[in-house]
Structure 1
Amino acid sequence: MSTTTDGRSARWEVHRQQRRKELVESAIRTIRSRGATVGMDELAAGAATSKTVFYRHFSDRHGLYQAVADRVDELILRDIGTALGQGVAKGVKGGSLDAFEVDPRAVIRAAIDAYLMLVERDPELYRFIVSAPIVGSGKSGNAAEAVATATGKMAGQISELISAALVDRGNDPAPARLWGQSLVGLVRAGADAWLAGSAGDFTREQLTEQLTNLAWSGIKIAWTRPAT
């Protein structure tokens, strides 16, 4: 393959990635304005393009949903990093906080608050992520499977933050991975109740503190440090 062909392929890949990003951002804007149950026709109209273009870049509705979920995941991790400080934000971007000494309770609180911030700021986008109405059912999977994949990935990343903040040398990080999964389940249940108006008249800050206390009270007891 010639250098010219290689260069053309590289430029096309950059263009393709940029176009995917533009379509995801457009989809998010349309979800915000039209609601979580938005259909492909509305998403295409919002992007001033056709459904065919969306399918060309994301294969199917499941692929589009996953791309939107990945972007939401990035926003949550960004907010966690912002809450923990600029130095930690760089660690979050790299997927690890190993280089930083971080108060583990602060990590948990930041994760919970970032999740609830999404619910408060973008309720329709949140509903889209936790119900995946656009996916429906078909040969590429169903909505429940899509949601489980998206929230599972989020839980895995949060568990890595918890693990990095809690693990001492000689400790098994496996419990922290379990806590990450469980923490997302806890926060999602609280967030769903809060969004539905059945969790009391809490502000986001108050709910964050309630859930942080609940999560941390269990983790600090369960965590076993090596004998010294």
Structure 2
Amino acid sequence: MPTLNPLSTASVAVNAARTLTRELEQRILTPAVEAVAGDGRKQRWEHHKQARRTELTEGTVEAIRALGPNAGMDEIAAHVGVSKTVLYRYFTDKNDLAAAVTVTYMESTLLPLLTDVLTDDLADYDLVRTVIGVYVDTVSADPNVYVFTTGRSAGSNSAAYTERIFTGAVRSTIEQRLGVRGAQIDGAKTWATAIVGAIIRAVDGWLVTRDQPTTQLVDELTMLVWSALVGIVARNGDPVAFAADPLPMPPLPGDAP
């Protein structure tokens, strides 16, 4: 696959991720109460409420790192240094708190790292492997917060929205890269969803067993994703052409040529 300069592609992918992050904030965080025009007290309360939510969210991140993703509201409150009543004053329930932590984690950790990768001048293969490596290494370095924010323990919808953020960025990148080649892009949504889903499921399973080094996990995922992308490009992004002429399986050792 020829080397392409990914800078224009990167801007599209990054913008998609940021747009979806704003959507995440709007849809799963408790909506702010609209300030009444001219009511200075309500406006001041609303500013205080949002500032306090931010402070408690950041404290919760540190609590989850220390206590684990299954920590209850009582434990989180004690670690933050407030009562559980205070948490419920600013968050509807644990799902609401997990949603707030998700946005903080995405904006402060994962998205900046992915932005740096996507704006690097990397060849196609290097970009694929580096993006997977960033995801795996970030999860490995902060597993408690990852599990909590993706809703595996918190029971919230945060996991679905987290996947949408990554899928949107991957889809934009695929569309741009195929577009440069004049290939069909109708399948980009399906391919991006499958790629992101496979990576997330594999990482989730690895977190349970930790049965291999992260470098091996990255290598195996890269092999899977890169092979799929090469197959798509080889048939110009056209499922009909692929079905009519699928890439052949290499012969078994010892088979006659």
TM-score, normalised with respect to structure 1: 0.71
Other structure's SS at 1:209 match: helix
Aligned residue number for residue 84 of structure 1:
118
Label 1:56 to 1:175 Cα distance change in 2 as closer, same or farther (>3 A): farther
SS of residue paired to 1:215: helix
Question: Which residue in 2 is equivalent to 1:112?
Answer: 132
Q: 2:192 aligns with which of 177, 180, 200?
A: 180
Give the 3 Å change call, closer, same or farther, for CA 81–38 of structure 1 in structure 2: same
Counterpart residue number, 1:125: 145
Retained in 2: the 8 A contact 1:84–1:106?
no
Does structure 2 retain, via aligned residues, the 8 Å contact 1:26–1:47?
yes
How many aligned residue pairs are there?
Answer: 197
- 1:207 paired residue number: 217
Q: Cα 1:173–1:69, aligned 2, differ >3 Å: closer, same or farther?
A: farther
What's the % identity of the aligned pairs?
29
Residue deviations 1:142-194, cap 9 Å, x none?
x2xx2xx3222222222222222221288765532223322232222322343
Q: What is the correspondence of 1:1-228 to structure 2 with a 5 Å cutoff? A: 4-5=38-39, 7-74=40-107, 75-85=109-119, 105-130=125-150, 132-133=152-153, 135=154, 143=155, 146=156, 149-167=157-175, 168=179, 175-197=187-209, 199-200=211-212, 202=213, 204-223=214-233, 224-225=236-237
Q: Report the Cα distance in structure 2 between the residues aligned to 1:172 and 1:64, rounded to whole angstroms.
A: 42
d(CA) in 2 for partners of 1:20 and 1:215? 39
Post-superposition offset of 1:29: 0.5
Partner of 2:25: none
Counterpart of 1:48, as a letter, is G
Segment of structure 1 superposing worse, 54-63 or 108-117: 108-117
* One-letter identity of the residue aligned with 1:166: I
**Larger CA deviation: 180-189 vs 16-25:** 180-189
Deviations along 1:21-65, one digit per CA (max 9) or x if unpaired, are 111111110111111211111111122212222222221111111
Work out the CA distance in 2 between the residues paired with 1:33 and 1:2.
40
User: Which position in structure 2 is the counterpart of 1:97?
Assistant: none
Gaps of 5+ in 1: 89-100, 136-142
Single out whichever of 49-58 and 122-131 deviates more from structure 2. Answer: 122-131
C-alpha contact (below 8 Å) 1:102/1:165 kept by paired residues: no
Q: TM-score, normalised by structure 2?
A: 0.64
Letter of the structure 2 residue corresponding to residue 180 of structure 1: A
Q: Aligned partner of 2:69: which letter?
A: A
Matched-pair contact (CA < 8 Å) for 2:64–2:144: yes
Equivalent position of 1:138 in the other structure = none
Q: Counterpart amino acid of 1:208? A: V
CA distance in 1, matches of 2:145, 2:36: 45
Q: Is the 8 A contact 1:80 1:114 kept in 2?
A: yes
**CA, structure 1 residues 225+26, in 2 after alignment: closer, same or farther (shift >3 Å)?**
same
Pairwise CA distance, 1:215: 0.9
Q: CA deviation at 1:206?
A: 4.0
Decide which moves more: 155-164 or 33-42: 155-164
More relative contact order, 1 or 2 (CA 8 Å, 6+ apart): 2
**What is the alpha-carbon distance in structure 2 between the residues aligned to residue 19 and residue 105 of structure 1?**
44
